[in-house]
Amino acid sequence: MKRLLDILLGRSQPPPARSEGLIALSTAVVTMEAQLGFRPGQEAALVFRPVESPYFDRASQELDELLAVSAREAGTEYRTQVDRYRYRWVILSDPDFEDLITAVHMLAQTLLEQGFGEQLLAAVFRFTSPDGQPFYWIYQYKRGRFTPFAPRGDQQRDHALELRLANALQRELPIEPELERWYPLWGIPL
């Protein structure tokens, strides 16, 4: 009933966060490396907006406990940082790319299960191009899709490369079809 009332009154709700498309990166990484020459990085990040709430504090504590277990069992190291927009970055380091995907997915699922899916912004995975430039796949939780990001210099990006890689991986990854939603994340700490 509340949803119907919101629609009638023109109020919109943010779409629910979705994490199922994230796992597709596990197979796409093979194509990235073998066919396109892009090496997967040893770092990835989960980005979310913290809220002032005892419930969120409890969820954050659970994230910290999961990260400690992951560090012990898989060797995944982590650090956190808050950016200028007050988003929290959980930056993961692991030589095994599959472990990075698993850890990011586990952290996101924890926030989703605790009711904080709206706080999730993105998961970010770094790659290195054949010429040594950084390239990122950004998973947007609200859309359940990936967007490419190829930063070059100061607030510049390589749109041609982004389009080429999106086209090459469209059968393997859920790629955001609306180009205007390919938002850049400047200052990625990976």
CATH code of 153's domain:
3.30.70.2860
Alpha helices in 75-143 (DSSP H): 97-113
pLDDT the model gives residue 139: 97
Reported as half-sphere exposure (CB side, CA atoms, 13 A), residue 65 has a value of: 7
- pLDDT tens-digit profile, the chain (190 residues): 444 434 444 545 544 556 578 889 999 999 999 999 999 999 999 999 998 888 888 888 888 888 888 777 888 999 999 999 999 999 999 999 999 999 999 999 999 998 998 999 999 999 999 999 999 999 999 999 999 999 998 889 999 999 999 999 999 999 999 999 999 999 999 9
- Specify if 153 maps to a domain: yes
CA distance 188 to 65: 25
CA torsion 175-28-117-162 (nearest 10°) is -40
CA distance 154 to 181: 21
- Specify if 186 maps to a domain: no
pLDDT the model gives residue 18: 61
- Specify if 11 maps to a domain: no
pLDDT the model gives residue 44: 97
- Specify if 142 maps to a domain: yes
SS3 54: helix
pLDDT the model gives residue 3: 46
What is this structure's pTM?
0.86
pLDDT the model gives residue 19: 59
pLDDT the model gives residue 82: 92
pLDDT the model gives residue 72: 79
Number of domains in the chain: 1
Q: Which domain holds residue 44?
A: 31-174
- Specify if 22 maps to a domain: no
CA distance 68 to 103: 11
- Specify if 129 maps to a domain: yes
